[in-house]
């Protein structure tokens, strides 16, 4: 090969590599400063409630939220695995699952400040797009639809990440938008979806808390006019919780408006990235013809804490962190790589963060586009092996039990139908008419649908 042809090949190869970018998504750290090892398993951490932390070690216990050793380990694992990401997405929930009277405004702000500091210290030159979780406020989940002291204080903490205009917007309602990495044609939309949470008593009578829906509609309309592509991030997702039948997070009218927002502007929305569940799953959005138009990725949490939501079995998870690979020209999500810490092994040996799986390899899809994720969903729905693989990844390889027929219906319908009415219809049709891969149908749907208790995420 001549020197000229060799140079041309190198340039072409370099150009191909340049099309691929990477960013981290970290969520639901839930630091519990009270975590302390001792002789009494009931006194290890405040976040365990009345449960004993029987297997507590230096990196935590599934009865507890994250000790500082786990927080530190997760952030430094990110630095070791991908030391120079294009940016970081951080979707909130920083404080432990304890009663409000055990925290207070200053304690909540102190926890957010400490987590902000370690991320900034380990990634001092990396842009971070950060969203509020429902636990990032006092009282928890009561985020107001207007200016507040805590919005102001958080904006000050994040001022090294926020553009000046973003800080001003954030102080009005906890949301903002910026050009993604200051690049023309790309935009990040950071939402405060805690305003739509059904436990938020401050916004239950509002049609559009903080004017966020109207604002987001305007931002996305302008994005289309300017030929921009958009990522959306937030904490509390719309739709249902896959581990608790008929458990929703949003009030009904808010959920409807969110779905309508995505359907209206799907041509500019290339990806949605949320947390809150602590589990690894995704949500599909379709147009009126049933074609996939958008995917919401729900990344697993760092905290291993087992939910106290009544009726949920095996509601803990191993700590997880996630890399998204994307096309730098289109923002298309090309792949998803999840890393995890086997908590039991870490407490007996060392904190070894391992690759749990790569989406395209494990599910044999070409990328993470809506069409590919829809294909993945159909595989989960129809094939027992695909379902079981997805189910084990859902808890970050913590719950390895069999996902039976009722489990299949819960997961498939939660992923497929974000709209509440369509979800309930899915429960009936999936249970009654689909056997998929040898799975037995559910005998009685009505007996399986439970009231959605107040949850404790």
User: Tokens 């929703």 sit at which residue?
Assistant: 248
453 inside domain: no
- The pLDDT of residue 453 is 36
* CA 262 – CA 295 distance, rounded (Å): 10
Residue 214's pLDDT is what? Answer: 98
Domain tally, the chain = 1
- For residue 5, is it within any domain? no
Q: What is the mean pLDDT of the chain?
A: 92
In-domain check, residue 8: no
Tell me what pLDDT residue 432 has: 80
Task: Dump strand ranges (E) for 34-159.
Answer: 87-90, 127-130
Task: Give the per-residue pLDDT at 435.
Answer: 46
Note the pLDDT of residue 431.
Answer: 85
The per-residue pLDDT for range 378-436, each reduced to its tens digit, is 999 999 999 999 999 999 999 999 999 999 999 999 999 999 999 999 999 998 854 44
* 317 within 8 A of 66, measured Cβ to Cβ: no
Q: Contacts from 430-434 at CB under 8 Å and sequence distance 24+?
A: 430/381, 431/405, 431/406, 434/381
- Check residue 3 and give its pLDDT: 53
In whole angstroms, give the CA distance from residue 305 to residue 53.
10
Residue 5 has pLDDT above 90, yes or no: no
Q: For 210-249, how does the pLDDT look when each residue is reduced to its tens digit (9 = 90+)?
A: 999 999 999 999 999 999 999 999 999 999 999 999 999 9
Which residue is it, tokens 């939402």?
191
Coil, helix or strand for 323?
Answer: strand
Establish if 75 belongs to a structural domain: yes
What CATH number did the domain enclosing 261 receive? 3.60.21.10
Cβ–Cβ < 8 Å for 448, 244: no
| 9 located within any domain | no
Query: What is the reported pLDDT for 455?
Result: 37
Domain containing residue 294 = 17-448
Span 55-62, average pLDDT? 98
19: pLDDT strictly greater than 60? yes
pLDDT score, position 8: 47
What was the pLDDT predicted at 444? 32
Q: Are 217 and 261 in contact (CB under 8 A)?
A: yes
pLDDT tens digits for 94-148? 999 999 999 999 999 999 999 999 999 999 999 999 999 999 999 999 999 999 9
The rounded distance, in Å, linking the Cα atoms of 32 and 70 is 10
The long-range contacts involving 438-441, CB below 8 angstroms and separated by at least 24 positions, are: 438/384, 439/384, 439/387, 439/404, 439/405, 439/408, 440/404, 440/405, 441/405
pLDDT of residue 50: 87
Quick: pLDDT tens for 255-280: 999 999 999 999 999 999 999 999 99
Please report whether residue 112 resides in a domain: yes
- Measure the CA angle with vertex 378, ends 376 and 381; round to 5°: 115
């Amino acid at each position: 090969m001549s020197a000229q042809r060799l140079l041309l090949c190198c340039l072409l190869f370099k150009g191909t590599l340049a099309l691929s970018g990477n960013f981290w998504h970290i969520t639901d750290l839930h630091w519990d400063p009270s975590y302390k090892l001792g002789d009494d398993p009931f006194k290890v951490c405040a976040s365990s409630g009345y449960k004993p932390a029987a297997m507590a070690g230096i990196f935590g216990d599934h009865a507890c939220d994250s000790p500082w050793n786990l927080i530190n380990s997760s952030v430094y694992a990110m630095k070791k695995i991908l030391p120079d990401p294009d940016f970081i997405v951080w979707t909130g929930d920083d404080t432990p699952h304890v009663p409000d009277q055990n925290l207070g405004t200053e304690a909540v702000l102190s926890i957010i400040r400490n987590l902000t500091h370690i991320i900034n210290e380990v990634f001092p030159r990396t842009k971070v797009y950060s969203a509020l979780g429902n636990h990032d406020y006092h009282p928890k989940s009561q985020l107001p639809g207007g200016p507040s002291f805590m919005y102001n204080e958080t904006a000050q903490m994040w001022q090294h990440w926020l553009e000046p205009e973003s800080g001003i917007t954030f102080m009005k309602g906890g949301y903002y938008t910026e050009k993604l990495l200051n690049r023309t044609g790309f935009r990040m939309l950071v939402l405060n979806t805690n305003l739509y949470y059904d436990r938020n008593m401050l916004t239950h009578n509002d049609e559009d808390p903080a004017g966020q829906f109207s604002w987001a509609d305007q931002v996305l309309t302008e994005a289309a006019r300017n030929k921009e592509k958009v990522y959306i991030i937030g904490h509390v997702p719309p739709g249902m919780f896959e581990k608790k039948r008929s458990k929703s997070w949003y009030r009904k009218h808010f959920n409807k408006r969110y779905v309508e927002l995505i359907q209206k502007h799907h041509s500019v929305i290339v990806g949605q990235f949320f947390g809150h569940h602590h589990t690894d799953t995704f949500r599909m959005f379709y147009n009126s013809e049933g074609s996939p138009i958008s995917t919401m990725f729900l990344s697993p949490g760092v905290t291993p804490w087992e939910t106290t939501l009544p009726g949920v079995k095996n509601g803990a998870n191993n700590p997880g962190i996630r890399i998204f690979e994307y096309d730098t020209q289109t923002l298309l999500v090309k792949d998803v790589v999840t890393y995890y810490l086997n908590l039991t092994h870490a407490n007996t040996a060392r904190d070894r963060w391992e690759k749990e799986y790569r989406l395209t390899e494990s599910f044999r899809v070409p990328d993470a586009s809506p069409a590919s994720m829809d294909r993945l969903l159909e595989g989960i729905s129809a094939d027992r092996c695909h379902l079981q693989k997805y189910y084990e990844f859902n808890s970050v390889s913590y719950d390895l039990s069999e996902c039976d027929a009722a489990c299949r219906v819960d997961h498939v319908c939660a992923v497929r139908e974000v709209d509440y009415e369509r979800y309930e219809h899915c429960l009936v049709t999936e249970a009654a008419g689909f056997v998929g891969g040898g799975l037995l149908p559910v005998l009685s749907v009505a007996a399986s649908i439970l009231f959605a208790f107040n949850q404790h995420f």
